[in-house]
Structure 1
Amino acid sequence: MNRKLRMGMVGGGSDAFIGAIHRHAAFMDGQIELVCGCFSVNPEISLSSGKSYFLPESRIYKTYQEMFEKEAKLPEDERMDFVTIVTPNFLHFDPAMMALDYGFNIVIDKPITFTLDEAIQLKSKLEETGLLLALTHTYSGYPAVKQAKQMIAEGQLGKIRKVFVEYSQGWLSEKVEAQGNAQASWRTDPKRSGKAGAMGDIGTHAHQLAEYITGLKTTELCAELNVLVPGRQLDDDGAVLLRFENEVSGVLMATQIATGEENALRIRVYGDKGGLEWAQMEPNSLILKWLKKPMEIYRTGTSSTNSYAMSNIRISGGHPEGYLEAFANIYRNFSYHLRATMNEEQPKPEWLDYPGIEDGIRGMQFIDTVVKSGYNNDVKWVAFE
């Protein structure tokens, strides 16, 4: 197969934020092209958005149901190869299930579904169809994060003992959802966002990053959730004590009322031989702290970078690679994997390194467990299941 992969979209119209990010990321490596979409629940917005993306009107759909039905009837050399779902949380599950029913692979925004039960159903359907799914936990796409993951897997830090991960934002320090902010409006609405606010939105990112880098699964947690802006329906702040496999403990903090903060995601992992630290706002640096030798700073693109990091680097050392590139790495690895599958070829291990259905289920388990612990004064530690 010597062509670009054909992508459809559900959501991501001209009035949306994350849709443009997905398109930039998908197109960055020249592997993917947009061929169709239902870009909004409003047919007029879907049509105007599709036209602005230079799509023919015949491939701009009023509903995602119409899109899947009509795309499936097109010849194989015309119809989309996969669909990207970039709707609010409550509109993830139905289009994802329908896409699989019609034989289309999926890229989907996090959290993967509205409820844990939906995520489990989606996994069952995915296994039934044998199709591929990528979940856009963006921060696992940074080369320095992949460097950290591999170093821990190789035992360079020794036995892992402690994990600290935090994600601080300040954009919800005021009740902007009452001031016409569309992003805040749906993210703070339990009917559209789900049972968790800050923990569902950015806490899931922090938790996925901790499990991804360490390779350890959470076994139980003890949470405190807070609503600090009067009148808000969902948590905007919280802290979680974590217990991982192998007697490893951790602390997770997620807040959206840290006034003045932007996207301050940071992780520290400590073993009995050394520790590491990475911060999303300084993404090209991985700090290594050793028990018996001086601190080191690994820089993205240098000769010391391992194969998993190098396969996700586009430019030479000293040139910053940021959020869009990390996002694009998920699309690139997914597209390489999908292309290999379509060509009946064996994908390289590095191409399989992107979040998928298991990360999605872990994220929904995290949300359920945090809410169960954080809003019940009689409950402390809750098993992660």
Structure 2
Amino acid sequence: MKRKIRMGMIGGGKDAFIGAVHRIAANMDGLVELCCGAFSVDPEIGLESGRSLFLSDDRIYGNYNELFDKESKMPADKRIDFVTIVTPNFAHFEPAMLALDHGFNVVIEKPMTITLDEAKQLHKKVEETGLTLCLTHTYSGYPMVKQAKQMVKAGELGEIRKVIVEYPQGWLSSLSEREGNAQAAWRTDPSKSGKSGSMGDIGTHAAHLAEYITGLEITKICADLNIVVPGRAIDDDGNVLLKFDNGSNGVLIASQIAAGEENALKIKVYGEKGGLEWHQMEPNTLIVKWTDQPAQIYRAGNNYLGSFAKHNARTPGGHPEGYLEAFANIYRNFAQTLDAKLNGEQPTAEMLDFPTSKDGVRGMAFIENVVNSSNSDKKWSDNKL
């Protein structure tokens, strides 16, 4: 790498949560430099946010249209290489399309868009431009998730038979969207979050994790969505039966009214020879269970792990790496991929190991098909793209 990859940011001002997470993750390996931004729909907040990040006023923009117009006219040695979009769901599609139209690569929060049709349009635009889009499904960035994926891919568990993935949270157990909680307010507003609440916000993470680790695709679903808290406009709880393209089955649970839970994402994958288990709140550990020998505990940072786990670990065994490091792994792989392409080189498989617009289309299809299934009297519905 001859220079840092230059980044612009849309959203993520001082009044936002996820923007700071993206900036920390992008900066962790020293490969990315924040050069500009349109940080808020409020010009004053946007300017204050940019100045607090030590950006010059001429690189702090009032909106993303201005950002793309002015950045695209800058000399090649100054303008940004990519933009990261950290706005609420409803404000993903338009800036992403504009970024690609102006020749900029994209990092974007999940779900990728607010409708399946938008997701398909965005994926098509990525293919037409040849640019790179990275979707921040954070949990695929953990070293032990990558170890699990490689073990399944190598056939160590045999043919996959069953997947159980659950994502319980408790932070929406009350009607907090009417109690001044800004994060709850937009996530429970269908006009801003889309047609699903809990399944759109966290169920998509669970579905992506199931497909990522197993290498399988969900083909059929049977869903039951619920509005548990009275007065809420959108689902806060749901259960989905799954069928995969190899004939195996699974269960997916996503709930934001599981009182007392924090961020308890976990997954179990069972094959004909054995199974594995990973918990997001104990991310350095992967439990592997066998039919003919004692269970094994794999730990991050050790030399016995595969190349993908090693590539995404920064510290020796016993030194915890968590959410921010997993997020940073996605940014590092994306940055290394861009750097290779800028230098006319072929990125390695480890570099290319991050979610893309294809995953974004699958995520939006999952949301729409789950909602349709829940509203239908049919037992099974196709997970149609």
TM-score bracket for this pair, using the shorter chain length? over 0.9
Q: Counterpart of 1:382?
A: 381
Three-state SS of the structure 2 residue aligned to 1:359 is helix
Q: Counterpart of 2:17?
A: 17
Q: Counterpart of 1:91?
A: 91
Q: Counterpart of 1:274?
A: 274
Q: Counterpart of 1:65?
A: 65
Q: Counterpart of 1:300?
A: 300
Using the TM superposition, give the Cα deviation of residue 164 of structure 1 relative to its aligned residue in structure 2, in angstroms. Answer: 0.1
Q: Counterpart of 1:355?
A: 355
Q: Counterpart of 1:194?
A: 194
Using the TM superposition, give the Cα deviation of residue 379 of structure 1 relative to its aligned residue in structure 2, in angstroms. Answer: 2.5
Aligned-pair identity in percent equals 66
Using the TM superposition, give the Cα deviation of residue 245 of structure 1 relative to its aligned residue in structure 2, in angstroms. Answer: 1.1
Is 1:36 the counterpart of 2:30 in the alignment?
no
- The one-letter amino acid of 1:202's match is I
- The one-letter amino acid of 2:380's match is W
- The one-letter amino acid of 1:374's match is S
Hey, which bits of structure 1, 4+ residues long, moved more than 4 A? none
- The one-letter amino acid of 1:216's match is L
Three-state SS of the structure 1 residue aligned to 2:276 is strand
Distance in 2 (alpha carbons) for counterparts of 1:110 and 1:130: 21
How is 1:58-137 mapped onto 2 (pairs within 5 angstroms)? Answer: 58-137=58-137
Three-state SS of the structure 2 residue aligned to 1:297 is strand
Three-state SS of the structure 1 residue aligned to 2:78 is coil
Using the TM superposition, give the Cα deviation of residue 51 of structure 1 relative to its aligned residue in structure 2, in angstroms. Answer: 0.4
Three-state SS of the structure 1 residue aligned to 2:331 is helix
- The one-letter amino acid of 2:263's match is N
Three-state SS of the structure 1 residue aligned to 2:379 is coil
Three-state SS of the structure 2 residue aligned to 1:112 is coil
- The one-letter amino acid of 2:134's match is A
Q: Counterpart of 1:151?
A: 151
Q: Counterpart of 1:259?
A: 259
Using the TM superposition, give the Cα deviation of residue 348 of structure 1 relative to its aligned residue in structure 2, in angstroms. Answer: 1.1
Three-state SS of the structure 2 residue aligned to 1:352 is coil
Distance in 2 (alpha carbons) for counterparts of 1:76 and 1:86: 25
Three-state SS of the structure 2 residue aligned to 1:79 is coil
Three-state SS of the structure 2 residue aligned to 1:351 is coil
Using the TM superposition, give the Cα deviation of residue 375 of structure 1 relative to its aligned residue in structure 2, in angstroms. Answer: 2.4
Distance in 2 (alpha carbons) for counterparts of 1:351 and 1:303: 19
Q: Counterpart of 1:346?
A: 346
Is 1:26 the counterpart of 2:26 in the alignment?
yes
Q: Counterpart of 1:291?
A: 291
Tell me the number of residue pairs that the alignment of Structure 1 and Structure 2 aligns.
384
C-alpha distance after superposition, 1:60-96 (max 9, x if no partner): 0001000000000000011111000000000000000
Distance in 1 (alpha carbons) for counterparts of 2:275 and 2:63: 50
Distance in 2 (alpha carbons) for counterparts of 1:302 and 1:60: 43
- The one-letter amino acid of 1:382's match is S
Distance in 2 (alpha carbons) for counterparts of 1:118 and 1:40: 23
C-alpha distance after superposition, 1:25-80 (max 9, x if no partner): 00000000100000011111110100000000000000100000000000001111
- The one-letter amino acid of 2:308's match is Y
Distance in 2 (alpha carbons) for counterparts of 1:3 and 1:272: 48
Distance in 2 (alpha carbons) for counterparts of 1:131 and 1:34: 19
Distance in 2 (alpha carbons) for counterparts of 1:17 and 1:270: 36
Distance in 2 (alpha carbons) for counterparts of 1:157 and 1:281: 24
Is 1:325 the counterpart of 2:325 in the alignment?
yes
- The one-letter amino acid of 1:383's match is D
Distance in 1 (alpha carbons) for counterparts of 2:17 and 2:181: 12
Distance in 1 (alpha carbons) for counterparts of 2:339 and 2:24: 20
Q: Counterpart of 1:52?
A: 52
What stretches of structure 2 of length at least 5 have no aligned partner? none
Distance in 2 (alpha carbons) for counterparts of 1:180 and 1:191: 18
Q: Counterpart of 2:234?
A: 234
Using the TM superposition, give the Cα deviation of residue 346 of structure 1 relative to its aligned residue in structure 2, in angstroms. Answer: 1.2
Distance in 2 (alpha carbons) for counterparts of 1:260 and 1:179: 19
C-alpha distance after superposition, 1:293-345 (max 9, x if no partner): 00000001112210000000000000001000000000000000000000001
Using the TM superposition, give the Cα deviation of residue 128 of structure 1 relative to its aligned residue in structure 2, in angstroms. Answer: 1.0
C-alpha distance after superposition, 1:4-34 (max 9, x if no partner): 1110000000000000000000000000010
C-alpha distance after superposition, 1:260-293 (max 9, x if no partner): 1000000000001000000000000000000000
TM-score normalised by length of structure 2: 0.99
Three-state SS of the structure 2 residue aligned to 1:264 is coil
Using the TM superposition, give the Cα deviation of residue 247 of structure 1 relative to its aligned residue in structure 2, in angstroms. Answer: 0.9
Distance in 2 (alpha carbons) for counterparts of 1:95 and 1:189: 21
Is 1:185 the counterpart of 2:185 in the alignment?
yes
- The one-letter amino acid of 2:237's match is D
Q: CA RMSD in A?
A: 0.6
Using the TM superposition, give the Cα deviation of residue 380 of structure 1 relative to its aligned residue in structure 2, in angstroms. Answer: 2.1
Distance in 2 (alpha carbons) for counterparts of 1:292 and 1:170: 38
Three-state SS of the structure 1 residue aligned to 2:350 is helix
Three-state SS of the structure 1 residue aligned to 2:24 is helix
Using the TM superposition, give the Cα deviation of residue 107 of structure 1 relative to its aligned residue in structure 2, in angstroms. Answer: 0.2
Three-state SS of the structure 2 residue aligned to 1:283 is coil
Using the TM superposition, give the Cα deviation of residue 347 of structure 1 relative to its aligned residue in structure 2, in angstroms. Answer: 1.0
Q: Counterpart of 1:209?
A: 209
Three-state SS of the structure 1 residue aligned to 2:354 is coil
Distance in 2 (alpha carbons) for counterparts of 1:175 and 1:224: 21
Distance in 1 (alpha carbons) for counterparts of 2:353 and 2:168: 26
